[in-house]
């Protein structure tokens, strides 16, 4: 290990008290990795031995703490740090050391695999089979299967190929990492005289952190901090949010499709199915009518016809308007469709990840906090009373969260305006290109406005939305005013 007395910039997290320790102290990092791994294993084990819905530990460990809280909060703050403590990568690094270290076949080196696994394997199932995620046995099977797949791939192939190409979470994290206000890189002056490249030797992903600055990309970096342990010239800096997106870098097609598909599958479908679906005129919308029509001919059994059609319409409409918008923008910019699509498509990044914070904070306060804590009390058989929710759905401060999705849309527009600078075209042409290329941002914004209008004009559905009702019917008292 090289021991340099590194003089750190003031925005380098490694030089900031407490934060520096949190991100650079290997013992602390290893401890957090071990705790996460132990929780993961226990959560899966509990899912198998207590497969019914009473087992709230498994449900809320995975769908309250790991997904949503850890992933969304960490991505928008420090970046892809969930990967740094991920149980799969934690063990994977040891497996890959004694594995076969083969080069992954070309057909598997495709980032769309992870993306499509997430899109069809999780989100399509989520809407089609409501309540699937609440069954601990299903969660246990899902994560046990992913674990076996991950370990086999770590064993067969080199450079943590599972994380790079197959992991559904990793694909999403890699794309959204660009929005975060942190950047891992190295001090150029130290690297220019380096002959050992300890950072690369230490990196299980075979990355070169000393090239990140020049490429304006952290590539597949999972912020595991192994390189910063090997060489003191590695820096982890606080940068303006979305700094990467404001400048040039080599685009990745899967990144842009991740933004489109995830915005469509989460933000748009949730807005349609769980937002407009809770209004008094929910039955009047096309997805509800199509569901009623289709049910005359097809027996959907336990599947949710309205969920399937809300998802299908949302995804199709999102894809159509993006493709059409980018095609028109490319004509205005007088350049290729591909360049337009993959340069400007990065403007969609904030929609889900920033806009989703509103839902995340409100869910955490009104039920997830109590769900997670009470799940732990259940899981570890603690002799203590259950905790109550932090807030009620009627609390007025929750109203302020509604501004967040508008900020996300504004953020998207700003990124788009900045990225348009990469094209040589007249200002008038760029204005028209902006209008068309921002189609998904505008759809997202319109949905927020329209939902507000419908609630105000027609009010909420009397009986309540089925998804909503069921997600609030566990054994704990979750709303102080109920």
Side-chain-side CA neighbours of residue 248 (13 Å)? 5
Q: Which is nearer to ligand SF4, 85 or 138 (CB)?
A: 85
Would you count residue 81 as binding ligand SF4 (CB under 6 A)? no
Q: How far is CA 9 from CA 216, 233, 236, 237, in A?
A: 18, 11, 10, 8
Lookup: tokens for 415: 């990124």
CA dihedral 406, 407, 410, 412 (to 10 degrees): -110
Binding segment for ligand SF4 among 189-197, 223-231, 245-253, 384-392 (CB under 6 A)?
A: 223-231
Binding segment for ligand SF4 among 95-103, 197-205, 285-293, 469-477 (CB under 6 A)?
A: 197-205
Coil vs helix vs strand at 169 = helix
* Binding-site member from 83, 261, 408, 415 for ligand SF4 (CB under 6 A): 83
Query: Among 92, 89, 95, 84, which Cα is nearest to 29's?
Result: 84
Would you count residue 221 as binding ligand SF4 (CB under 6 A)? yes
Q: Which is nearer to ligand SF4, 89 or 265 (CB)?
A: 89
Binding segment for ligand SF4 among 12-20, 199-207, 416-424, 431-439 (CB under 6 A)?
A: 199-207
Q: Nearest-5° angle of CA 63, CA 66, CA 72?
A: 100
Q: Which is nearer to ligand SF4, 173 or 233 (CB)?
A: 173
CA dihedral 201, 203, 205, 207 (to 10 degrees): -70
Cβ pair 264, 319 in contact under 8 A = yes
* Binding-site member from 64, 76, 81, 88 for ligand SF4 (CB under 6 A): 88
Q: Which is nearer to ligand SF4, 47 or 209 (CB)?
A: 209
Distance CA 90, CA 106 (A): 25
Distance CA 38, CA 111 (A): 29
Would you count residue 222 as binding ligand SF4 (CB under 6 A)? yes
Interface with ligand SF4 in residues 142-161 (CB under 6 A): 150
Cβ pair 90, 150 in contact under 8 A = no
Helix (H) or strand (E) holding 471: none
Query: Among 174, 216, 248, which Cα is nearest to 419's?
Result: 248
Q: Which is nearer to ligand SF4, 156 or 225 (CB)?
A: 225
Q: Which is nearer to ligand SF4, 171 or 366 (CB)?
A: 171
Helix (H) or strand (E) holding 183: strand 182-186
Would you count residue 227 as binding ligand SF4 (CB under 6 A)? yes
Q: Which is nearer to ligand SF4, 225 or 328 (CB)?
A: 225
Lookup: tokens for 193: 């005289």
CB of 162 to ligand SF4, least distance (A): 6
* Binding-site member from 29, 89, 344, 409 for ligand SF4 (CB under 6 A): 89
CB of 305 to ligand SF4, least distance (A): 33
Would you count residue 232 as binding ligand SF4 (CB under 6 A)? no
Distance CA 213, CA 211 (A): 6
Q: Which is nearer to ligand SF4, 205 or 352 (CB)?
A: 205
Residue 213: partners with Cβ closer than 8 Å, 6 or more residues away: 185, 186, 188
Binding segment for ligand SF4 among 16-24, 224-232, 322-330, 416-424 (CB under 6 A)?
A: 224-232
* Binding-site member from 207, 272, 357, 391 for ligand SF4 (CB under 6 A): 207
Would you count residue 306 as binding ligand SF4 (CB under 6 A)? no
Cβ pair 243, 419 in contact under 8 A = no
Binding-site size for ligand SF4 (CB under 6 A) equals 24
* Binding-site member from 224, 409, 415, 445 for ligand SF4 (CB under 6 A): 224
Would you count residue 408 as binding ligand SF4 (CB under 6 A)? no
Q: How many residues does the chain have?
A: 482
Would you count residue 326 as binding ligand SF4 (CB under 6 A)? no
Would you count residue 85 as binding ligand SF4 (CB under 6 A)? no
CB of 202 to ligand SF4, least distance (A): 6
Would you count residue 177 as binding ligand SF4 (CB under 6 A)? no
Q: Which region holds residue 131: left if phi is over 0, alpha if psi is between -120 and 50, else beta?
A: left
Residue 48: partners with Cβ closer than 8 Å, 6 or more residues away: 137, 140, 144
DSSP designation for 389: P
Helix (H) or strand (E) holding 352: helix 349-363
Would you count residue 209 as binding ligand SF4 (CB under 6 A)? yes
Would you count residue 163 as binding ligand SF4 (CB under 6 A)? yes
Residues that bind ligand SF4 (CB under 6 A): 83, 86, 88-89, 150, 162-163, 167, 169-170, 173, 184, 202-203, 205, 207, 209, 221-227
């Amino acid at each position: 290990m090289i021991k340099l007395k590194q003089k750190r910039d003031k925005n380098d997290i490694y030089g900031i008290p407490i934060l520096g320790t949190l991100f650079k102290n290997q013992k602390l990092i290893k401890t957090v990795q071990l705790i996460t791994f132990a929780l993961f294993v226990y959560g899966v084990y509990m899912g198998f031995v207590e497969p019914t819905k009473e087992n709230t530990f498994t449900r809320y460990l995975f769908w309250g703490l790991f997904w949503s809280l850890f992933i969304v909060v960490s991505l928008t703050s420090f970046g892809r740090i969930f990967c740094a403590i991920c149980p799969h990568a934690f063990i994977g690094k040891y497996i890959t050391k004694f594995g076969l270290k083969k080069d992954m076949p070309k057909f598997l080196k495709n980032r769309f695999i992870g993306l499509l696994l997430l899109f069809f394997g999780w989100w399509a199932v989520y809407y089609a089979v409501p309540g699937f995620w609440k069954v601990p046995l299903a969660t246990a099977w899902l994560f046990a299967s992913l674990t076996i797949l991950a370990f086999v791939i770590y064993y067969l192939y080199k450079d943590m190929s599972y994380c790079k190409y197959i992991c559904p979470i990793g694909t999403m994290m890699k794309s959204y990492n660009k929005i975060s206000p942190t950047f891992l890189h190295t001090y150029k002056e130290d690297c220019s005289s380096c002959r050992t490249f300890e950072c690369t030797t230490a990196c299980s992903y075979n990355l070169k952190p000393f090239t990140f600055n020049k490429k304006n990309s952290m590539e597949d970096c999972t912020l595991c901090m192994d390189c910063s342990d090997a060489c003191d010239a590695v820096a982890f800096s606080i940068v303006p949010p979305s700094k990467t997106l404001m400048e040039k870098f080599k685009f990745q097609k899967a990144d842009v499709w991740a933004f489109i598909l995830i915005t469509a599958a989460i933000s748009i479908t949730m807005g349609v199915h769980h937002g407009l679906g809770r209004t008094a005129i929910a039955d009047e919308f096309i997805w509800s009518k199509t569901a009623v029509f289709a049910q005359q001919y097809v027996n959907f059994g336990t599947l949710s016809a309205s969920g399937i059609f809300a998802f299908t319409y949302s995804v199709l409409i999102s894809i159509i308007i993006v493709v059409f918008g980018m095609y028109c923008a490319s004509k205005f910019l007088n350049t290729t469709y591909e360049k337009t699509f993959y340069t400007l498509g990065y403007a969609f990044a904030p929609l889900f990840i920033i806009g989703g914070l509103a839902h995340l904070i409100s869910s955490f306060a009104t039920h997830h906090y109590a769900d997670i804590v009470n799940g732990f009390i259940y899981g570890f058989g603690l002799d203590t009373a259950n905790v109550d929710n932090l807030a009620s759905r009627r609390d007025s401060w929750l109203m302020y969260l509604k501004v967040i999705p508008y900020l996300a849309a504004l953020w998207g527009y700003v990124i788009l305006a900045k990225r348009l600078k990469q094209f040589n075209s007249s200002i008038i042409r760029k204005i028209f290109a902006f209008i068309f290329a921002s189609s998904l941002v505008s759809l997202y914004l319109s949905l927020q406005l329209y939902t507000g209008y419908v609630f105000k004009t027609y009010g909420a559905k009397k009986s309540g939305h089925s998804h909503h009702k069921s997600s609030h019917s566990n054994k704990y008292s979750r709303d102080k005013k109920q």
